[in-house]
Amino acid sequence: MKQTRNTLIGIVAATAWLLAGNVGTLTTFTANTTAKASEVNGNFSAVKTAVNGNANDIATNAHDITTNKNSINTVKGDYVSSVTAGTGLTGGGSSGDVTLKPADGYVSINPAAFVTGGTSGTCTTYTGATVFKFNHTGSRNNCDAIASVSLPDHVTITSFECDIKKDNNAASGDLAVRLRYISNDLASHDIIVLTTNDAGRQLLSSSTIEGGGDPVVDNHTKVNYHIHFDPPNNTNTSDGDDNQIYGCRIGYTYN
């Protein structure tokens, strides 16, 4: 009987150690000695306390794990749960993959950015904050101007517009404003070209990409971007209206 009791106590104690963690101090029994009920009960009480404590900890941890899992699922959703675009951004979504990118924008070109690029020494210009113009007090040939443009890398150009005035005394022929870039091989490529044969002030605009032009801005493979203002020759020898440009605007979208 003693041996059976001792064996049972040993199994319970070993099981408690494996499952319940630290049990505490237990009474050690010696073979062929009398086991006191208080000592046996004390061992069982220690095991019970440890097992119950461990069970409570497991239940508490299980509750916390469930709570944390629910919180994680709430935050994670389907990777993103509702993103609202702020100022200067577009996109968003309620679940799954969403888009979020900078909003479409514009670059404005001030007329003061233009400098003469004419091959004729007869080209005289006036540059101010509100207008760039060729002063036509006589015959003026081969007068053109260029303005450098800075655009964000990797955007796609979508529109081009310029506020211009064609000289009433200019020779017949189109006034052209070209948005273009120089490639690494030093060749010029038009992106969008604005033209008019009408005299007077007007707003020219277009979103048509030229056949050989690349609307995607790549500041790594393009030498520069610029606007080329190319009015027709002025053949009138009297003072009159001037070919003028008041500014341009380039529209773009982020890819």
Domain ranges within the chain, ordered by starting residue? 2-76, 105-254
* 153-198: pLDDT as tens digits: 999 999 999 999 988 765 567 899 999 999 888 899 999 999 999 9
Residue 238 has pLDDT above 70, yes or no: no
CATH number attached to the domain at 105-254: 2.60.120.260
* 109-150: pLDDT as tens digits: 999 999 987 665 667 888 888 999 887 666 667 788 999 999
**Rounded Cα–Cα distance for residues 130 and 245 (Å):** 9
pTM of the model: 0.62
